[in-house]
Amino acid sequence: MDPTCQSPPIVCLMGPTACGKTDLAIALTQYFPFEIISVDSAQIYQGMDIGSAKPSLAIRSKVPHHLMDFLDPAMAYSAAQFRQDAIHTIKSIQSRNRIPLLVGGTMLYFKVLQQGISNLPQGNPNFRALLEEKAKLHGWEALHEELARLDKDRALKIKPTDSQRIQRALEVIALTGQSMSHWYSKPKDPIDFNFINIGLLPIQTARMALHERIQKRFTLMLQQGLVTEVKTLMLQGLNLALPSMRAVGYRQVWQFLSKEITYIQMQEKAVAATRQLAKRQLTWLRHWPQLTSFDFCETALLTQIIQHLHNKIK
């Protein structure tokens, strides 16, 4: 983005899970005419409140939140769909002379919004149903081997158990005659928005502080009723193959309820998986272009960011 760009500002607040993004975003709405857009692949789903750390209904009634709590957890939702919905929501907020504040840690969503996305075809339900039947007969690992023959580069980036990505890669080949690697090599279509990127990272703070927050937050989620929340989702006929149920925390609680692991193992696995998620998020952030970073444990964090935004938002 050209620094001389005069288009309206769009603020993006990024950071690893449990770093305090939500509370900071709510506080910032007291100082700027913000409306919040969630950038979280779990918060989009209805009924997934505790494990995705959604703000309370009381907070959401006072501060407008968008792209949150709108999708049935039985449905899939792609990064391309997020981009389309986010652009529409951003323009709607700007039409009210307010400022979009995008908050979350799903870095792929931020990437496709800011940097564009390859022009891939939409999903085909009939073809996907055929792949589901094939997977039941032969297993997803066999379909992964098929993908490796057709698109080796893409297959190397996908785990043999990742049914959603295997399915999508094979679907693209079938619908277009070209591999996803081919499409990803094509020029993308970035949009001319004025993004102000803010990252919350452990700069001076030891990484262990983030790990401790992750541990405490998951313990709090269990106290708030996460197990009951997942049990309710199970009764809706969902399964672990769905993107919603593969979300960190939900997957491990599901395994506990299915008696695959013990309660203690569920806690340990959920915390370990969340720490791995945070590690991946930090890797994204450390290579993010035009990012202004702040230490998430800085005592004057709110004041620092308010000052930064006052300088950026004219």
- Residue 3: its pLDDT value, please? 45
Tell me: the pLDDT tens digits for 298-314? 999 999 999 999 999 97
Beta carbons of 10 and 100 less than 8 angstroms apart: yes
Side chain identity at residue 75, one-letter code:
M
22 with 160, same domain: the answer is no
Q: If phi over 0 gives left and psi between -120 and 50 gives alpha, with beta otherwise, what is residue 39?
A: beta
CA distance 274 to 255: 16
**pLDDT at position 5 over 70:** no
Residue 69 domain-assigned (yes or no): yes
Classify 36 as helix, strand or coil: strand
Task: Show which of 184, 202, 219 is a domain's final residue.
Answer: 184
For the ranges 1-5, 181-185, 228-232, the lowest mean pLDDT is seen at 1-5
**Total structural domains in the chain?**
2
CA distance 78 to 280: 19
166 with 272, same domain: the answer is no
50 with 174, same domain: the answer is no
Beta carbons of 39 and 109 less than 8 angstroms apart: yes
214 with 266, same domain: the answer is yes
CA distance 16 to 14: 7
What lies within 8 Å, CB to CB, of 284 at 6+ separation is: 107, 111
Task: Show which of 134, 150, 184 is a domain's final residue.
Answer: 184
**pLDDT at position 75 over 80:** yes
Task: Show which of 161, 184, 207 is a domain's final residue.
Answer: 184
Give the CATH number, domain containing residue 176. 1.10.20.140
- Residue 164: its pLDDT value, please? 85
CA distance 25 to 41: 18
Two structure tokens written together for 72: 């049935």
Quote the domain boundaries for residue 173: 125-184
Query: For residue 253, how many C-alpha atoms fall within 13 Å in the half-sphere facing its CB?
Result: 23
Residue 4 domain-assigned (yes or no): no
206 with 136, same domain: the answer is no
- Residue 119: its pLDDT value, please? 74
130 with 273, same domain: the answer is no
Tell me: the pLDDT tens digits for 226-282? 999 999 999 999 999 899 999 999 999 999 999 999 999 999 999 999 999 999 999
For the ranges 13-27, 175-189, 197-211, the lowest mean pLDDT is seen at 175-189
- Residue 123: its pLDDT value, please? 77
pTM: 0.84
CA distance 46 to 43: 8
What lies within 8 Å, CB to CB, of 57 at 6+ separation is: none
Strand partners, 275: none
Residue 187 pLDDT class (50, 70, 90 cuts): low
What lies within 8 Å, CB to CB, of 89 at 6+ separation is: 37, 66, 67, 100
For the ranges 10-24, 73-87, 125-139, the lowest mean pLDDT is seen at 125-139
- Residue 182: its pLDDT value, please? 83
Tell me: the pLDDT tens digits for 27-69? 999 999 999 999 999 999 999 999 999 999 999 999 999 999 9
Residue 2 pLDDT class (50, 70, 90 cuts): very low
Q: For tokens 């792929």, what's the residue? A: 108
CA dist 95 → 6, 8, 25, 62, 261 (Å): 16, 11, 21, 20, 50
The contacts found for 173-181 with CB under 8 angstroms, 24 or more apart, are 174/124, 174/127, 175/121, 175/124, 175/127, 176/121, 179/150, 179/151, 179/153, 179/154, 180/120, 180/151, 180/154, 181/151, 181/153, 181/154
Give the CATH number, domain containing residue 216. 3.40.50.300
Angle in degrees, CA 200, 38, 1, rounded to 5: 65
242 with 103, same domain: the answer is yes
**pLDDT at position 186 over 80:** no
- Residue 129: its pLDDT value, please? 84
Residue 83 domain-assigned (yes or no): yes
- Residue 191: its pLDDT value, please? 79
197 with 249, same domain: the answer is yes
**pLDDT at position 205 over 60:** yes
**pLDDT at position 211 over 90:** yes
CA dist 40 → 19, 144, 307 (Å): 14, 27, 26
272 with 148, same domain: the answer is no
- Residue 275: its pLDDT value, please? 97
Instruction: Name the DSSP class of 120.
Output: P
- pLDDT top residue among 129 and 225: 225
For the ranges 47-56, 99-108, 154-163, 174-183, the lowest mean pLDDT is seen at 174-183
85 with 109, same domain: the answer is yes
CA distance 232 to 237: 10
